[in-house]
Homo-oligomer: A and B are copies of this chain.
Amino acid sequence: MAKIIECIPNFSEGRNQVVIDGLVATAKSIPGVTLLDHSSDQSHNRSVFTLVGDEEGIQEVAFQLVKFATENIDMTKHEGEHPRMGATDVMPFVPIKDVTTEECVEISKKVAERINKELAIPVFLYEESATSPDRKNLAKVRKGQFEGMPEKLLQEEWAPDFGERKIHPTAGVIAVGARMPLIAFNVNLDTDDVEIANKIAKIIRGSSGGYKYCKGIGVMLEDRKIAQVSMNMVNFEKCPLYRTFETIRFEAKRYGVNIIGSEIIGLTPVKALADVAEYYLQIEEFDFNKQVLENHLLG
C-alpha cells in the first residue's frame, strides 16, 4: 500500500491574496498530492497549509512551496503578531499511513538538504528530526525571530543543520522536521471555577510532571460558564486520548467535579479513535491495519 505523509508548512504571508493564491496553485500542481486545507490569518500575517501525499509527491510539493515563498515573501518587510523567522517559517512532516516517524525524519532531512542546496536558506532540523535536545522545541529554535537570526546563527551552539551561519537575506531561516499528528482534545467540566481546570492541566501535562506527550492548560468557556482542560496530544500512540480523559475524571472527583463532555478540534487520524474503542471495549488482539475495512481501500 502507498505511504501517506502529511506536510503542514507555515508561511509568513497572510494578507497578500496574490501570494496566497500562488501558494495554493503550487500546492495543487504536484501529482500525488492533495491540498486538504489552507487558512490565512491577517493579524498573524501567516498562512497554514495542510497537504497529504505519497513519498515522492510530498517532498516535491514541499520544496516547490518553499521556492515560491522564497521568491515572493520578503521577511525584511514582514509584520505580524505570530513569532516567525522565515518566509517559510516551519515545515513539519507527519506520518499518516504505512509510514513510520523514522521515515518522516529521513524525508525531512532530504527536503532540508535540497532547500539549502538550491535556495541557499539555512535550515534547522526540529522535533523528531532534531540533532540535539535543544533543537527539538520549535519555540527555542525560533527564539530571536527573523530579526535576531543573523546574530543567533553566529553563536557556538546555533550553527544550522544545513547551510552557513548566515540567513537568506529575504527568506530568513526555516525549521524542518518530523512529528506525530497533533490532536487538539478538550475536556469540559461541570464547574465555573477555571482554577480547577488549571490544577488538573498541571497534573496531566508533561511540562509540569504529567504525561510527556500531552500539553495542557485550563481555560474558561465564557459563553457556557464552564471550565475546560484544553490539550494538545502530541503523540496519541504514546499517550492515548482515553488516558488523559480518565486521569482528568479521577482528578476532578476530588473537587466534586465531573466531566460533562469533550471536543476534538479539527482533524484526527482515525487510529486515535480506534485506540480509544479498543481500550474501552477491552478488545483482545485487534489488528488495526488488517481489521479496519477502509485500510484496504487506500492505494
Contacts and interface: CB of A to CB of B under 8 A. Distances in A.
A36 B284 CA distance: 23
Interface string A70-99: 000000000000000000000000001100
Contacts of A294: 96-97, 269-270, 294, 298
A276 B181 CA distance: 21
A6 B293 CA distance: 10
A158 interface: no
A197 interface: no
A101 interface: no
Interface in A154-195: 181, 188
Interface residues of A, number: 43
A17 interface: no
Given A280-B276, A280-B280, A293 B181 contact: yes
A209 interface: no
A274 B284 contact: no
Contact of A277 (B261, B277, B292, B296): B277
A292 B280 contact: no
Contacts of A270: 270, 273-274, 292-295
B283 A264 contact: yes
Contact of A291 (B242, B267, B281, B298): B267
A206 to B, nearest CB: 20
Given A276-B276, A277-B274, A283 B267 contact: no
A267 B282 contact: no
Contacts of A266: 291
Contact of A286 (B36, B264, B295): B264
A268 interface: yes
A259 interface: yes
A211 interface: no
A223 interface: no
B34 A245 contact: no
Contacts of A260: 282
12 contacts: A52-B296, A96-B294, A245-B280, A245-B281, A260-B282, A261-B283, A263-B285, A264-B291, A266-B291, A273-B277, A276-B277, A276-B281
Given A96-B297, A269-B293, 17 more contacts: A6-B293, A96-B293, A96-B294, A181-B293, A242-B281, A261-B284, A263-B286, A264-B283, A267-B292, A268-B291, A270-B274, A270-B294, A270-B295, A274-B274, A276-B276, A280-B280, A298-B298
